[in-house]
Structure 1
Amino acid sequence: MEIILDRPRCEGHGLCEEVAPQLMHLDDEGELVLDVVHVNEDQLDAAKQAARVCPVAALRLA
């Protein structure tokens, strides 16, 4: 599974970072950085939660 970020849509709310800090973080400019793109089984729940909490639907799994 892969996390896909729609960068233009991301507004830097940081909710995804709160639920999945092991997968992503906001940089100093407030831009989301994916630390992991290809998610393994252990990371799948966190990735799903991150996509679910995004208020602008900038994250999805494929």
Structure 2
Amino acid sequence: MKVIVDQNKCVASGQCVLATPGVFDQREEDGIVVLLTETPPEDLADDVRQAVALCPAQAIWVEEEGDKAEGEGTVDEQGDKQ
């Protein structure tokens, strides 16, 4: 799991910090999300998913294992994936 945040979308609600304080924090000056670890331990995965669901600005998302692998590869001349 890889966590991604968009600080430009963040509205500083703090829901992510409440859900997973070991992964998220907030800047002192404006409350914008700060990502503490891009690849949290597996035992925090459900909490991170909860933080994603709770974010009112949809400023947080995750790439799960295999997300990239499905889109990778080559395409031959007939358009078939290799």
2:7: which partner in 1?
7
Identity within the alignment, %:
31
Larger Rg: 2
Q: Distance in 2 between matches of 1:35 and 1:6?
A: 14
What is the total number of aligned residue pairs between the two structures?
62
Q: Distance in 2 between matches of 1:61 and 1:23?
A: 12
Q: What is the Cα deviation at residue 27 of structure 1?
A: 1.8
1:17: which partner in 2?
17
The answer to whether the aligner puts 1:56 opposite 2:60 as a matched pair is no
Question: When the two structures are superposed, what TM-score results if normalisation uses the length of structure 1?
Answer: 0.90
1:43: which partner in 2?
44
Q: What is the Cα deviation at residue 46 of structure 1?
A: 1.1
Q: Distance in 2 between matches of 1:14 and 1:40?
A: 21
Q: What is the Cα deviation at residue 40 of structure 1?
A: 2.5
Regions of 4+ moved over 2 Å: none
**RCO higher in 1 or 2 (8 Å CA, sep ≥ 6)?**
1
In structure 2, the gaps of 5 or more residues are 64-82
